[in-house]
Structure 1
Amino acid sequence: MISVAAIAAMNVLPAGAANVEGPSVFWKISIYGNPRALTSGMEALAEKVSSETDGMFQIRIFYAEQLGPVRENLDALKLNAIEGAGICEFYHPGKNPAWTVFSLPFLPLGDPAVDRQVRERMFEHPAIVADMEKWNAIPYASGLLQQFELMGTGPKPETLDGWKGLRVRAGGGLGDALSRLGATPQTLSAPETLIAFQNGTVDAAAFPFTYAHVAFKINDEAEWFTSNLAPGTSECGWVLNKTAFEALPSQYQDLLMDNRDLVLDTQQAAYAAEDGKNLALFRETLDEIVYTDEQRAAFREKAGQPVWNDWVEANSDKFDAQGVLDALLTYAREAGATH
C-alpha cells in the first residue's frame, strides 16, 4: 500500500512553481483533537493547495477546538467565522438529522472500498446536501471512519448480557444498538471521553478501530477491547463554508474539488499504517474480547433492522428518511458488485 508520505510527495510541486494563478486567500479550518490519521487528508490538501498556488491560497487547520467547541462548528460556518470544519454528525444530531444515517448499526460498509464509494455518493445526496445548506455549508470529503470497536474498564462483557448496566460512549444508532443490550449510551465528544474515563463516569467507549483509541489515549485507561463486534461506524467528515467557497475564483474551486481523492487516499493510508502497530499494542497490554459468530448474529438480529426501522420512523417528518436509507443500501449493493 502507498504510504502517507509517498502520497504527499507525489502531490507537492517544487518551491516557486505555481500551476494555479490567483489572488491571496487564507482559510481557517476548525477541528477537534490533535493531528492524527483523520486530519492527515486535510493536511495533505493544505500542502497541495499552497504548492499549486505558490503560497497564494493558504489553508490553516486549527486543532483542539481552538476556534470554538466542536458542537458549534456548524454555527461558526453559518456565521462565516470559519471557512471549513471537521464535524461528527452524532455530536449534534438535531442539526444534521439526515447525516445520522451513517451511524446506523450493521450497515453493509465493512469493505473499505465499498464504504468509500458509498460515502462519496451519499455526500451528493439531496438530503445530505440540504442538511448542510441550513448551516451555510457544503459536504466536501468523508472522514472514512473505520468500523467501531469498544474499549473499557471493569468486568469484561464477554457475552451480550455483559453489556447490561455499562455506561458506554456511543452516539447515534450505535448508541441505540447498545442500549438494546442494556447499556446506557452517552454522547461524549472524543476529547471528553478520556476525562470521563479518568473520572470514572464511563465504562466503555466506541471509536473507529484502531486509530482513534490511540489518538485520544483511550487505550491508556482501558483494560479490555473488542476486536470483532464491528457494530457500525459513523461520519466525522469535512464540510466547507458555502459563502467562502462560492467567493473563490473558479480555478481555486476546481483545485479544491479536484483533490478530494487526495484527502481520501491520504486518510486511508494513514489508517492502514496505524492498524498494524496499534493492534499489536492492544494485544500486548489489554485483554481481547472475541465474539462468536452466533453472538454477533444475535446482536444483529436485536439491534440491526429494528434500529433502522426506529430511525426511519423518528425522522420521517423531517426528511425522506426511508429514501435516504434506501439510497445508502442501494449504493452499497452496487459498490459491492464491483469490488
Structure 2
Amino acid sequence: MKLFGKLVAGATLGMSLLGGAAFAQSVEGPEVFWRISMWGNPRALSAGMEAMAEHVLEETGGNFRIQIFYGGQLSSARENLDGLAVNAFEGAAICNFYHPGRNPAWMVFSLPFLPLGDPEIDRQVRARLMEHPAIVADMARWNAMPYVSGLLPQYEILGRGDAPTDLSDWNGLRVRAGGGLGSAMEALGAVRQSLPAGETSTAFQRGAIDAAAFPFTYAHVAFGIDEEADWFTSNLTPGTSECGWVLNRTAYDALPPQYQDLLMSQRERIMEIQQAAYAAQDEINLPAFRENLVEVIYSDDQLEEFREVAGRPVWEAWIAENQDDFDAQGLFDAVWEYAAEAEAAQ
C-alpha cells in the first residue's frame, strides 16, 4: 500500500481514502487497487473520474480503490497506450491526436464541423461511439477497452500577436492543432503544430508557436495558455477531439462481475459531472478572457467560407485515407446517424 503515499495534492480522492474504513459497504468483493494514468493537473476533464473513484470506494467499503496519477507520473501523454499494452497500469486518459496512427478510427472525433455542438447530443453520440466496433477495435490492439468519453467542448483558439480578424490572416500562423482540426487550419494556410497540452505554454514562451486550439475555455486556463495570449476566437468552433478514458482489458477481465457492473454503471454520471465542470469553468473564464484579451468574432459569411474549404474536403480525405483499414465511411456516417436520432428524441 505504499503507493497511497503518492496521492496528488488537490485530488478529491485523497479525503475519501482517509475515511475508507468508515464507508457503508453495498458491493461485496476483494481488495483491489487500480492506477489511472493522466497528464497535467486535476481539472474539469478529470472531475467525473474522480467522482467515480470516490463512489466506487464508498460502495465497496474501501475495498476497490482507484487513484488517478497526474502529471505523467505513470506515463507520458503519448505513451499511455503502450503502458496499457504491457499492463503497466489499469486505466488511462488518451487524446486521439497524440498518436493518430495508433488509434486511426478514433480520429473521427477530430474531424471538423461534426454535429456535436449541442451538449446533450454530443453526450449521446459519444456514448454510443464508445461501443462502435471500429472504436473498440482501435483499443483492442493495445489491450484496452473504451470506458467513457471526455466530452471535450468545442475548440477555440488563443494566440499571440495581431488578431486574425480575417480568414486570410491565418496564413503562415503556427497553430497547435491536431487531427482533422489541424487539417482544417492548414486549409486556411496555417502551419499545423502537434504537441502535448503540457508543452504548449512553454512553446509559446520560446516563440515556437503563434496560437493554440484547445477545448474552450477550461483547457486554455488549465494549461496556462490564457497567460501567454493576446487574443481569442469565440465563435470559430472548428470542432473538437476525444480525450477519453480507457481501461486495461486484462485488469478489467480480472475483476469480479460485481466490480465490473459497478464501473459500467458510472459512465453516464461521469459524463454529467464533466459537462457541469466545463460549464462552471466557462462562467469564470469567459468574462476574464473578454476583460484581458481581444475577442475575435467572425461573420456568418466568414464562417461559411471556413466550412466550405475545411469541412467536406477534410472529411472526404480522411475517409479515403482510412477506408482500406476499417470502415471509415460507416463510422463517419454513424456520427451523423446517432446525432440525428439524438436530436429527434429531444
- Class of the TM-score when normalised by the shorter of the 2 chains: over 0.9
Q: Which residue of 1 aligns with 2:302?
A: 295
Given that 1:25 and 1:58 are in contact with CA atoms closer than 8 Å, whether structure 2 keeps it comes out as yes
TM-score, scaled relative to structure 1: 0.96
**1:88 CA drift (Å):** 0.2
Q: Is the 8 A contact 1:14 1:51 kept in 2?
A: no
Q: Distance in 2 between matches of 1:263 and 1:70?
A: 21
CA distance in 2, matches of 1:176, 1:16: 50
Q: CA deviation at 1:13?
A: 10
Structure 2 equivalent of residue 92 of structure 1? 99
Is 1:143 the counterpart of 2:143? The answer is no
What is the alpha-carbon root mean square deviation over aligned residues?
Answer: 1.4
Residue 256 of structure 1: aligned partner: 263
Work out whether 1:115 is the aligned partner of 2:115: no
Residue in 1 that maps onto 2:22: 15
Would you say how many aligned residue pairs link Structure 1 and Structure 2? 330
- Alignment TM-score, normalising by the size of structure 2: 0.94
Deviation digits for residues 187-220 of structure 1 (CA, Å, limit 9, x no counterpart): 1110011110011100000000010000001000
Residue by residue, what CA displacement relative to the aligned partner does 1:217-254 show, whole Å, maximum 9, x if unpaired?
10000000000000000000000000000000000000
Structure 1: distance between partners of 2:276 and 2:72 = 25
Q: Which residue of 1 aligns with 2:216?
A: 209
Distance 1:118 1:13 in 2: 36
The one-letter code matched in structure 1 to 2:105 is: A
Please show how residues 45-194 of structure 1 align to structure 2 within 5 Å: 45-194=52-201
> 1:101-125: CA deviations, max 9, x gaps?
0000000110000000000010000
The equivalent position to 1:235 in structure 2, one of 230, 242, 258, is: 242
Which of residues 222, 225, 228 is equivalent to 1:221?
Answer: 228
CA distance in 1, matches of 2:20, 2:316: 50
How far apart, in 1, do the equivalents of 2:245 and 2:57 lie? 19
Q: Residues of 1 paired with 2:340 and 2:20: CA distance?
A: 39
CA deviation profile, 1:254-288 (whole Å, cap 9, x unmatched)? 00000111211110110111111100000011000
Gaps of 5+ in 1: none
Shift of 1:16: 2.9
Amino acid at match of 1:81: A
Question: Alpha-carbon deviation of 1:51?
Answer: 0.5
The partner residue of 1:273 within 259, 269, 280 is 280
C-alpha separation in 2, matches of 1:79 and 1:321: 28
Q: 2:51 aligns with which of 22, 41, 44?
A: 44
CA–CA separation in structure 2 for the residues paired with 1:244 and 1:280: 44
Equivalent AA in structure 2 for residue 276 of structure 1: E
Q: Give the CA deviation at 1:68.
A: 1.4
Deviation at 1:15, TM superposition (A): 3.2
